[in-house]
Amino acid sequence: MSTDEAAFGPRIKVGADRSIAAQHIGNAYTGDVVLPAEALQAAERVTAAPGTSNLPPAPLCPGRQEELTWLRRTLTDQREGAITQSGTVHGLGGIGKSTLALHYAHRHRGDYTLIWWINATSPDEIETSLASLTQTLVPGWAATAGRGTQVAWARQWLA
């Protein structure tokens, strides 16, 4: 990491592989849950109601108009017919990455069916956010499933 990052703010990387986020989650996920067949099928059939979101409110410090525009372009850029679906904002801690992502998500929330904020402070927090996604999408089934199964279901659904 360089001091340039502190001087110029968050940088955004384009990810060509749309499973990047899931791969990161996979690294943090330590359980070895096997989902029952009916749960696997449900993960493919279940669609989120438009507007489904757990987005926390954005703090009152937008600015960063250029970065927001850049992020938008990065996430909607079309190459060879494929839409880029992932992007990474990176830079020093405290530089405003999370805040930028939060403002982006609020600004464009109408463009997405579901927006889910996953707290990646620790593997445990990631699992809590994923389990909460399952509890929102399939509340009845989630009530009968353990936490590890809920996490596995959310990963399956996202995949």
Ligand X SMILES: Nc1ncnc2c1ncn2[C@@H]1O[C@H](COP(=O)(O)OP(=O)(O)O)[C@@H](O)[C@H]1O
Q: Which residues bind Mg ion (CB under 5 A)?
A: 97-98
Q: At how many degrees (to 10) do helices 20-28 and 123-137 cross?
A: 120
Residue 153 CA to residue 119 CA, distance in Å, equals 18
Q: Among ligand X, Mg ion, none, what does residue 64 contact (CB within 5–8 Å per kind)?
A: ligand X
For 65, half-sphere exposure in the C-beta direction (CA atoms, 13 angstrom radius) is 0
Which lies closer to ligand X via its Cβ, residue 43 or residue 95?
A: 95
Which lies closer to Mg ion via its Cβ, residue 96 or residue 134?
A: 96
Nearest position to Mg ion, beta carbon: 98
Min separation Cβ 118 and Mg ion, Å:
12
Residue 75 CA to residue 68 CA, distance in Å, equals 11
User: What DSSP character marks residue 94?
Assistant: T
Binding site for ligand X (CB under 6 A): 59, 61, 63-64, 93-99
Q: Among ligand X, Mg ion, none, what does residue 155 contact (CB within 5–8 Å per kind)?
A: none
Q: Among Mg ion, ligand X, none, what does residue 93 contact (CB within 5–8 Å per kind)?
A: ligand X
Residue 144 CA to residue 124 CA, distance in Å, equals 21
Contact 3, 68 (CB under 8 A): no
Which lies closer to ligand X via its Cβ, residue 63 or residue 123?
A: 63
Contact 109, 118 (CB under 8 A): no
Min separation Cβ 117 and Mg ion, Å:
11
Q: Among ligand X, Mg ion, none, what does residue 72 contact (CB within 5–8 Å per kind)?
A: none
Which lies closer to ligand X via its Cβ, residue 9 or residue 131?
A: 9
